[in-house]
Amino acid sequence: MSIFEAILLTVITASTPLVIAALGELVTERSGVLNLGVEGMMIMGAVGAFATAQLTGSAYIGIVGGVVSGALFSLLFAFLTLTLVANQVATGLAMTILGLGASGMLGEAFVGAPGVRLLPIEIPLLSAIPYVGTVLFKQDLIFYLSILLVIAVNWFLFKSRTGLKIRAIGDNHASAHALGIDVIRMRYLAVMFGGACAGLAGAQLSLIYTPQWTENMSGGRGWIALALVVFASWRPWRLLAGGYLFGAVTILQLHAQAFGIGIPSQFLSMLPYAATVVVLIIISHNRRTTLINTPASLGKAFVPDR
C-alpha cells in the first residue's frame, strides 16, 4: 500500500465518526432542538459498543449496543428539555459532563481489555482497482452506513412529507402545531435519532478507530460535530465534505509529527480545534446566509398549551 493510500484510509477512518455524529445533530437541529450533549452521547455509545462487543464476542452486536446507548442517553435529554422544558443549552452541557463521568465509571472494568475489532468488508473486483479500490471498497460497515445515512437524510429532509414536517417545526413550531403536527413527538424522534447517530459514531471509535476502551476517548469530537452542522449550513452534502475536511486536518497533523516536521507537537495537536474556530469566525461574517439557513425555532422551548 502506498503512503497516499494509507493517508486516505486514515482520513476516512477519522472523518466517519464526525460525519455520523454531525448528521444526527443536523436532524435534531432541523427540528428546532439544540443538543449540546453530543459529546456525552458519543462517549456513552463508545463504552456501550465496547462493553457489548466484549460480552458477546461480536463487533456487529457491539454496534447495536452503541446505537442503543446513545439513543437511550438522548432520551433523557429529550425528557428534560421537551417534557420538563428545561433550558436546552444548560441541559446539553450537563449531559456532556454526565456522559463523560458515567462512561468512565461504566468502562472502568474494561480498561486494558483487548478490543473486538470490526473487520473491513472487501467488495470483490472493485477492491482490486488501483489506488481507490482499497480506499473505497475495502472498508468497514460503519463507513458504508455513513454514506448511506447522508443520502437517506438528504432525501428524508427535502423529499419526504415527514421531513417537511421536521423542517416546518424547526422554522416555526407554533404554526406547525396549529396545522395539527405533534411538535413534541416529532422532536422526541429527532433527538433520539441524533443520539443514535452519536452512539454509532462512538461505536466507530471503540471498535474501529482505536479498538479498545480508554476514558474520554471521544476527544472533543462531539464539539467538532456541532461546529460541522453550522459549517454545512444544515445541509447533509455540505456536512459530508466538511467532515472529511476536518478529518483530514486531524490526520495530517499526526502524519506531520511522524515525518518529524519541525513544528511543536502541541501546536499540531490543536490544529483540528483551531480550524473549527477559524471556520466559525468565517461563517459568522456572512450573517445573511447564516440567518437564512438557521432553523428559526432553534433552541426555543415549546409548550402546546401556550
The rounded distance, in Å, linking the Cα atoms of 259 and 265 is 12
pLDDT at 83: 95
Q: Identify the residue whose cell numbers are 455524529.
A: 21
The rounded distance, in Å, linking the Cα atoms of 140 and 120 is 4
HEC string for 127-141: HHCCCHHHHHHEECH
Enumerate the H helices of 160-263 as residue ranges. 161-171, 173-178, 183-204, 221-231, 236-258
What's the total number of domains in the chain?
Answer: 1
Does 299 fall in a domain? no
CA angle in degrees (0–180, nearest 5) for 83-89-94: 85
Burial-class residue 153 by CB neighbours within 10 Å (0-12, 13-18, 19+): buried
The DSSP result for 235-267, as a single string, is -HHHHHHHHHHHHHHHHHHHHHHHTT-SS-HHH
Does 24 fall in a domain? yes
Q: What percent of the chain has pLDDT over 70?
A: 94
pTM assigned to the model: 0.92
Does 212 fall in a domain? yes
pLDDT at 114: 85
pLDDT at 165: 96
Span 180-204, pLDDT tens digits: 999 999 999 999 999 999 999 999 9
Nearest to 241 by CA among 22, 91, 93, 25: 22
The rounded distance, in Å, linking the Cα atoms of 42 and 66 is 9
Span 36-56, pLDDT tens digits: 999 999 999 999 999 999 999
Q: Which of 66-90 are b and which e, b meaning 16 or more Cβ less than 10 Å from the residue's Cβ?
A: bbbbbbbbbebbbebbbeeebebee
Burial-class residue 159 by CB neighbours within 10 Å (0-12, 13-18, 19+): exposed
The answer to whether residue 5 scores a pLDDT higher than 90 is: no
Does 79 fall in a domain? yes
The answer to whether residue 28 scores a pLDDT higher than 80 is: yes
Nearest to 296 by CA among 154, 156, 162, 168: 168
Least confident of 50-64, 155-169, 183-197, 273-287: 273-287
Are the beta carbons of 168 and 180 closer than 8 angstroms?
A: no
Confidence of residue 131 (pLDDT cuts 50, 70, 90): confident
The DSSP result for 23-57, as a single string, is HHHHHHHHTT---TTHHHHHHHHHHHHHHHHHHHS
pLDDT averaged over every residue in the chain: 89
Does 302 fall in a domain? no
Does 109 fall in a domain? yes
The answer to whether residue 290 scores a pLDDT higher than 70 is: no
pLDDT at 1: 57
| Residues ≥6 apart with Cβ < 8 Å to 166 | 27, 30, 31, 157, 186, 190
Q: In this structure, what CATH number is given to the domain that contains residue 211? A: 1.10.3470
Domain that holds residue 217: 3-293
Does 306 fall in a domain? no
What is the gyration radius of the CA atoms in the chain, in angstroms?
Answer: 19
Confidence of residue 304 (pLDDT cuts 50, 70, 90): confident
> Partners of 139 in the beta sheet?
121
Span 222-244, pLDDT tens digits: 999 998 998 888 999 999 998 99
> Partners of 138 in the beta sheet?
122
The rounded distance, in Å, linking the Cα atoms of 268 and 174 is 47
Q: Identify the residue whose cell numbers are 406547525.
A: 176
pLDDT at 257: 66
Q: Identify the residue whose cell numbers are 441541559.
A: 91
User: Helices (H), strands (E): how many in the chain?
Assistant: 14, 2
Does 169 fall in a domain? yes
